Structure 1
């Protein structure tokens, strides 16, 4: 009887707990805020503020104005009586999507109340990303407001406010994982919801390479942006090949193949000898002199499964050099090529980096308790220490019932860190919304084969810490720290999680390395070279650097800026807009450059816009890059700009977040205008304009003016549907000299500082911003 009574008491408590959790879940849902525009805001009429509701824009002209959400008062000592402001959660998460003029300062105010008393106020200054605020212990309600000051425009695209409750736990219905923190689960759900509205632009570029293929979904998504790919059907491949006329047939070691159409037709053919579809296909290609290429990406461990399929092909390429001799033995091929994994910049990129920031560190993958012993040790050495740093784990088998993942259930201590699972496209976005990712490798003794995720993360500008891997060391060196012990892992995490600028340097270098050498376009070129196909997929567009100057004293600076550029396919057109400047002197100086140079003299009475138009008209490049004579352009500046133009699909690229050096104060500051770094934007700094020449032609060039010709160019470009993108803040510095009269843009140091962040006090401003 006593035992039954104890059980009854226990069950009663559990039912009460479930009931309470259900109430909290419902309460959290009811307290969600999601608005667009200004209809839900109150601002006092005496203040000089005009609302253009159709454009969802406010014209701000005030020293200080508050926009109070839901409450018709800007007296914030008074709490709200509205239910939506009542606190249920212990944390508030805010997603503000705003754009404002660089002359407007915007702050968010969160006021917390205990009954009728104001407890505390939290203030956040634009630019905003995801804002997370812990609720004070005694708080019962809150209020939200914007505070604006300055003169210009304020645009509110969307505002979302969610409450989360850390302590509530909910079952994930798998039976293996008893509970996860609601805040983590809801965080992932909110993330999935928010990224549905994200957009990315792709250029419909002509593809010169035609490939008939059998690929898994991951590989198809990665290759299709750089070649015209026909996925062969199992029933009509002969007609498809005849009509498509591919340069070659490309088939990988896949288990399903072309959305399951080729299941059982590629793996285990040494056992399933009755399955002859693949052999018939390759024999047909031999008769028609169509080259066939087999790519083994499963490595030494799964060699037996695909050895028969590989033997049918003209060419074999493998991701793991440990299988090369084996493939030679089972085929007549003596030159087995190496083809590692890579990244696809069209889907693995830093666009909207940290727009939906999810946390500090994450791991995506699965757990195996029945194989990969070295990988299991790495989980203990790499992932287990990261538990103390709040790691999020994305479990590939998360949604499977317990009985179907007996060998893939994470140990108990990892369970509360499992946040769910994401599909491939969602995970590609998650990559760029963490500060770091942890990686472990099933294959550790290969020079070329390791998790493809490493390439993808680096292309997303996210730092990676890896478990032991010969390949990771060979390819990335110090850019991907490799840990072999718990102590090493802790030291690496402390170093890079606590030092974001230091981490960003690693991210930048890793990103550039991958985009230069380890994209799927690089891999396609390697295939073409290996099979003797004369096609150049890596040809770089010609860039015409244009510059107009009236100042001989800055010609040396311009010379050094262009001389050190790492981008190779260049030409330079310089307009001397001062009658007294000696064109022959500068022609001789610039003749030492390794690319074509034109030095043109134009009458000093014509406008800057006219000079720039003249330079573009004389250019022969597909891309135009505007250089100012007195600013700093680091060696990798153009190289990085062209990468950004490619992965963003933009027509114009530049910087709306960049460094400024205030010479009189020896201050290096970071100025943010427009949308900020790694965002599609309406505005970028005129000194960083890089654009496609056909945009210039369609707009009729720059306006005939001496000031504002660049901002006018951008406005007209945006109006005409051209895409503008802002890349990162590195490798450029706008130099503000002590003599303000030497600048066409007359602005004080204090005005610049109002909308900037101080980086450092220094005499050498180049070194800190050059990567």
Structure 2
């Protein structure tokens, strides 16, 4: 079977099945692919009495199938055993609706299993960020420092901001940081390009100065690019913190009511999460030198040259929404309330954010 999470189902149509050994790993007596494992809430592992190959089991983990076990024998590697026997994600009752927290906890568990199964090689990533808000630079850099599994460098486009306004934040950062200064009249996309011209990493990642990113954000993108074979990857724009309302919402559908899935080929990803190889970025022609809609037009340009875009999970990313004129993506706060699948008071990201 495929060892990727492509086609992961947020709200499965079936319950649990039994994963057991019978001359190979079987799901209720059948090969795993015959059980349509993405349609299952999860697989409960029934361990054999003696050691057996774990390849089939780790393949299911790599596919994002939620696996669980009451215990694990000593011959199961410790990191895998710890994850399989961590059953906290089962504490929430499933009610079959998208609003169910059981589905969110299940997806978080799925992502942890994917990370364990795939473990991409450590790569170098050039993080590109443009900012007009010097007061946000310190917090943005702190989140970049938290990134695990990658070698990161930071490239900042100071958009109408003098370096002296951010010097303290930059000098306090443990990562290598380079910057360019540009007048406020320079289009946003051009500022990004000037910063990106300094990149030395194998990959280039776009970063928004006012959003929140979990510590595995970049490594999850690299992992998704690897297992999907994509040219461009990004996440869903799924979690939003509505600052004036002091509320967090999660959306899993478009405004039309159509499903907004992750782990799919798509023409749209969250603009603050775009990642691709630096060579492919140059082949596309960089960011369009526009004041707005830079991400959208960049993805269109990528599609025109035949680049394929993949949308992975958005559990490690939260977008900040303030007043409409503060953002290049301009939609009223009422829009986000209207499309919310879940809504909570205060800042309530996914557990994968590790309290970013």
Shorter-chain-normalised TM-score: which range? 0.7 to 0.9
User: How far off its partner does 1:725 sit?
Assistant: 0.7
- CA gap of 1:566–1:438, structure 2 versus 1, over 3 A, is same
After superposing on structure 2, the runs of 4+ consecutive aligned residues of structure 1 that deviate more than 4 Å are 355-358, 364-368, 491-494, 672-675, 766-769
The higher-RCO structure (CA 8 Å, 6+ apart) is 2
Q: Is the 8 A contact 1:655 1:728 kept in 2?
A: yes
Taking the TM superposition and a 5 Å limit, the aligned residue runs for 1:189-208 are: none
Q: Is the 8 A contact 2:10 2:107 kept in 1?
A: no
User: How far off its partner does 1:549 sit?
Assistant: 0.8
Q: Is the 8 A contact 2:284 2:302 kept in 1?
A: yes
**Aligned-CA RMSD value:** 3.0
Residue in structure 2 matched with residue 81 of structure 1 by the alignment: none
Q: Is the 8 A contact 1:608 1:706 kept in 2?
A: yes
Is 1:463 matched up with 2:66? yes
User: How far off its partner does 1:473 sit?
Assistant: 6.7
User: How far off its partner does 1:364 sit?
Assistant: 4.7
Residue in structure 2 matched with residue 501 of structure 1 by the alignment: 104
- CA gap of 1:561–1:492, structure 2 versus 1, over 3 A, is closer
Q: Is the 8 A contact 2:8 2:263 kept in 1?
A: yes
Q: Is the 8 A contact 1:545 1:626 kept in 2?
A: yes
Q: Is the 8 A contact 1:436 1:463 kept in 2?
A: yes
Residue in structure 2 matched with residue 686 of structure 1 by the alignment: 271
Distance in 2 of aligned mates of 1:751 and 1:492: 33
Aligned counterpart for 2:238 among listed residues 643, 658, 662: 658
Aligned counterpart for 1:707 among listed residues 292, 302, 310: 292
Is 1:557 matched up with 2:139? yes
Is 1:512 matched up with 2:115? yes
Is 1:758 matched up with 2:342? yes
- CA gap of 1:660–1:723, structure 2 versus 1, over 3 A, is same
**Other structure's SS at 1:437 match:** strand
TM score, norm. by length of structure 1: 0.41
Residue in structure 1 matched with residue 313 of structure 2 by the alignment: 728
Gapped runs of 5+ residues in structure 1?
A: 1-217, 219-346, 369-391, 396-420, 483-490, 520-537
**Other structure's SS at 2:166 match:** helix
User: How far off its partner does 1:659 sit?
Assistant: 0.5
Aligned counterpart for 2:3 among listed residues 333, 336, 348: 348
User: How far off its partner does 1:620 sit?
Assistant: 1.0
For residues 709-765 of structure 1, give each alpha carbon's deviation from its aligned partner in whole angstroms, at most 9, with x where no partner exists. 11011112122211111111211110012x333223321111123333124222x33
Q: Is the 8 A contact 1:440 1:468 kept in 2?
A: no
Residue in structure 2 matched with residue 340 of structure 1 by the alignment: none
Q: Is the 8 A contact 1:587 1:599 kept in 2?
A: no
- CA gap of 1:663–1:769, structure 2 versus 1, over 3 A, is farther
Is 1:437 matched up with 2:12? no
> How many pairs does the alignment contain?
340
- Greater gyration radius: 1
**Other structure's SS at 1:570 match:** strand
Distance in 1 of aligned mates of 2:88 and 2:49: 22
- CA gap of 1:556–1:469, structure 2 versus 1, over 3 A, is same
Residue in structure 1 matched with residue 217 of structure 2 by the alignment: 637
Residue in structure 2 matched with residue 388 of structure 1 by the alignment: none
Q: Is the 8 A contact 1:450 1:472 kept in 2?
A: no
Residue in structure 2 matched with residue 569 of structure 1 by the alignment: 151
For residues 193-216 of structure 1, give each alpha carbon's deviation from its aligned partner in whole angstroms, at most 9, with x where no partner exists. xxxxxxxxxxxxxxxxxxxxxxxx
Distance in 1 of aligned mates of 2:126 and 2:283: 18
Aligned counterpart for 1:646 among listed residues 218, 222, 226: 226
Q: Is the 8 A contact 1:632 1:732 kept in 2?
A: yes
User: How far off its partner does 1:511 sit?
Assistant: 2.2
Distance in 2 of aligned mates of 1:549 and 1:657: 20
Gapped runs of 5+ residues in structure 2?
A: 95-101
Is 1:543 matched up with 2:125? yes
Distance in 1 of aligned mates of 2:341 and 2:83: 27
- CA gap of 1:651–1:587, structure 2 versus 1, over 3 A, is farther
Q: Is the 8 A contact 1:441 1:450 kept in 2?
A: no
For residues 298-342 of structure 1, give each alpha carbon's deviation from its aligned partner in whole angstroms, at most 9, with x where no partner exists. xxxxxxxxxxxxxxxxxxxxxxxxxxxxxxxxxxxxxxxxxxxxx
Q: Is the 8 A contact 2:61 2:114 kept in 1?
A: yes
Aligned counterpart for 2:204 among listed residues 618, 621, 624: 624
Q: Is the 8 A contact 1:481 1:492 kept in 2?
A: no
Distance in 1 of aligned mates of 2:10 and 2:91: 24
**Other structure's SS at 2:209 match:** coil
User: How far off its partner does 1:651 sit?
Assistant: 1.0
Q: Is the 8 A contact 1:472 1:480 kept in 2?
A: no
**Farther off after superposition, 459-468 or 698-707:** 459-468
TM score, norm. by length of structure 2: 0.84
Q: Is the 8 A contact 1:458 1:511 kept in 2?
A: yes
Residue in structure 2 matched with residue 361 of structure 1 by the alignment: 16
Distance in 2 of aligned mates of 1:549 and 1:492: 39
Distance in 2 of aligned mates of 1:649 and 1:700: 21
Distance in 1 of aligned mates of 2:117 and 2:185: 47
For residues 510-544 of structure 1, give each alpha carbon's deviation from its aligned partner in whole angstroms, at most 9, with x where no partner exists. 2222322xx8xxxxxxxxxxxxxxxxxx4x33110
Residue in structure 2 matched with residue 104 of structure 1 by the alignment: none
**Other structure's SS at 2:48 match:** coil
User: How far off its partner does 1:617 sit?
Assistant: 1.3
Aligned counterpart for 2:79 among listed residues 467, 475, 479: 475
Taking the TM superposition and a 5 Å limit, the aligned residue runs for 1:85-96 are: none
Distance in 1 of aligned mates of 2:185 and 2:262: 37
User: How far off its partner does 1:454 sit?
Assistant: 2.8
For residues 121-151 of structure 1, give each alpha carbon's deviation from its aligned partner in whole angstroms, at most 9, with x where no partner exists. xxxxxxxxxxxxxxxxxxxxxxxxxxxxxxx
